[in-house]
Structure 1
Amino acid sequence: MKLTSFHYDKSSSWNEEQPHTNPDWTLIFVIYGRCVYWIHEKKQVLEKGQWLLIPSDTPMYGRSVPTKIHEKFVIHFAADEAEHVFPLLQQSSHTCRQTGKFDIIADRLRLIHRGWQDKQPYYQALCEAHLQELFVYLQREWDQAATTSATSLLVEQMKVYIQNHYREHVTKDELGACISRSPNYAASLFRQVTGQTISEFVHVTRIKTAVYMLRHSALTVTEIAEFIGYNDPSYFYRVFRRLTGLVPTELVSDRETIRK
């Protein structure tokens, strides 16, 4: 699997046409809003959380929904030997799916984007490793497409509970009680559907809030850490660095620069 190009779009006036002679596969993942593609003249609307996989040598045209901003990641790659590993890359027509693993897929795409921009030594190998990992999640989810809507609803209930209590210590016992199931069942189901453990999802939810507060509040890093549930600032720094690739003070510096 060889990554040939990667870009991030944020626009309300985007349009693009891909000729049928393009030798690469294309993967699109929408993280906000929606856009529209025509593949072999068949219309495909893509919304937040949906991904679209287009085989090589497939003509397509895409554009923004007029006056509506959307954000998406677009990857072009050569499948090479990965075709023998992932059945998704054996499809002769385009594939579209709504993911239940939004956070983990968006996280991997951000890592690829950062690496592709920074171009540190061996960046291509690292980006391609992240891309292959991403396809593992997509393929697993595709294989588990039989997950029932009732099961998905249970996971959504657990997500809502976490979003309402992420500043506290959320346990599998609490989530089990939330969906009237055993703690072990709740933890297993949550990981199966989201690709994350309960703890990982709690950390992601906390760090999302931290990013916003670091950019837009007047609180110190320590105050923000305590507010979102981290009593140890050094631990907050480690988790923040692991999930974002940044340190909290970088965002605080940006905030102070903007205010000046």
Structure 2
Amino acid sequence: MLKVNDIRQDRAMEWFTEEKGDQPFYTLVFLRYGKCVYWVNHVKLILEKGDGLLIPYGTPYYAKSVPSVFHEKFVLTFSRRDAAGEEPSRLDILQEKKPIRLRIGSLDWMIDRLRTIAEEREDRTWLADVRAEAILAEVLVLWSRERRQGPVSAAVDYNAQRMKDYIQEYYRERITKDILGAHIGRSPNYAASLFRRATGQTISEYVHATRMKKAVYLLKDSLLTAGDISEMLGYRDVSYFNRLFKKLTGKNPSDYR
């Protein structure tokens, strides 16, 4: 079993940290913006936007920001709680003794999941620790899959970004694989497969997640009702909007009022 020890979001230009190698936990880093440097076992690793890094427990490292360069990242530390007689974890990345660096196609999704862990821990939400363990396991599984599949090609990444840009602009409207396929000049099924490969999400999942981010913003910073926001985002049935909001955020729209 996995146990989340700590999670933080760094947004800094001047930053430094160090572990001597006696830490009983793994360190998971997802860089959302900018650039920073890690020296792990005296090996220099320059992390850039979209990179993930997993440092095994008991591995010495130190890290710092690049001079005059702002960066933003999520850092999560976790440990394993293997019971006596329990089979070793099937996650291959937890068996590695060396740091694992990987460019992450589904970075946006993973960042959102880590943000959920951070928010629920801060709010002391009931059973937040249990949900954190489940989210961490899901993140590590998808990261392992990406690693096995190999890096996303530049062409796939380019077309996935074009589709994401389209969704960001037209998220209020009905968006399907047919529409996105036409947008990038490919077949609907190819567009759907490419999108899933590059982001770790289906087109529908990404559209709903985009809408819910906007919904959270509007609930916090406007006087619009949940019904108003539901209709604005393309949901005709406010009860469906409420259920979907609860499913994706873990909270009710009324919790933000």
TM-score by length of 1: 0.83
Q: What is the CA–CA distance in structure 2 between the aligned matches of 1:20 and 1:205, rounded to whole Å?
A: 40
| Cα pair 1:3 1:75 within 8 Å, conserved | no
Task: Mark the CA change 1:83 to 1:104 in structure 2 (over 3 Å): closer, same or farther.
Answer: farther
Q: What is the CA–CA distance in structure 1 between the aligned matches of 2:255 and 2:15, rounded to whole Å?
A: 31
Which residue in 2 is equivalent to 1:106? Answer: 111
Please list every run of 5 or more consecutive structure 1 residues that lacks an aligned counterpart in the other structure. 254-260
Identity of aligned residues (%): 45
Residue aligned with 1:242, SS: helix
| Cα pair 1:8 1:71 within 8 Å, conserved | no
Q: Which moved more, 1:181-190 or 1:133-142?
A: 181-190
Q: What is the CA–CA distance in structure 1 between the aligned matches of 2:73 and 2:87, rounded to whole Å?
A: 24
Q: Which amino acid aligns with 2:227?
A: T
- In the TM superposition, 1:118-137 aligns within 5 A as 123-137=128-142
| Cα pair 1:11 1:64 within 8 Å, conserved | no
Please list every run of 5 or more consecutive structure 2 residues that lacks an aligned counterpart in the other structure. none
Which residue in 2 is equivalent to 1:7? Answer: 7
CA deviation map 1:183-216 (0-9, x unaligned): 1222222223222111111111111222223333
Greater helix share, structure number = 1
Q: What is the CA–CA distance in structure 2 between the aligned matches of 1:132 and 1:179, rounded to whole Å?
A: 33
Q: Which moved more, 1:83-92 or 1:110-119?
A: 110-119
Q: What is the CA–CA distance in structure 2 between the aligned matches of 1:104 and 1:11, rounded to whole Å?
A: 19
Q: Which moved more, 1:135-144 or 1:86-95?
A: 86-95
Which residue in 1 is equivalent to 2:79? Answer: 78
CA deviation map 1:143-189 (0-9, x unaligned): 11153221222222221222222111101111121222221222222
Q: What is the CA–CA distance in structure 1 between the aligned matches of 2:226 and 2:97, rounded to whole Å?
A: 51
Which residue in 2 is equivalent to 1:17? Answer: 18
| Cα pair 1:10 1:69 within 8 Å, conserved | no
Instruction: Give the alignment partner of residue 97 of structure 1, picking from 72, 92, 102.
Output: 102
Which residue in 1 is equivalent to 2:56? Answer: 55
Which residue in 2 is equivalent to 1:256? Answer: none
TM-score by length of 2: 0.84
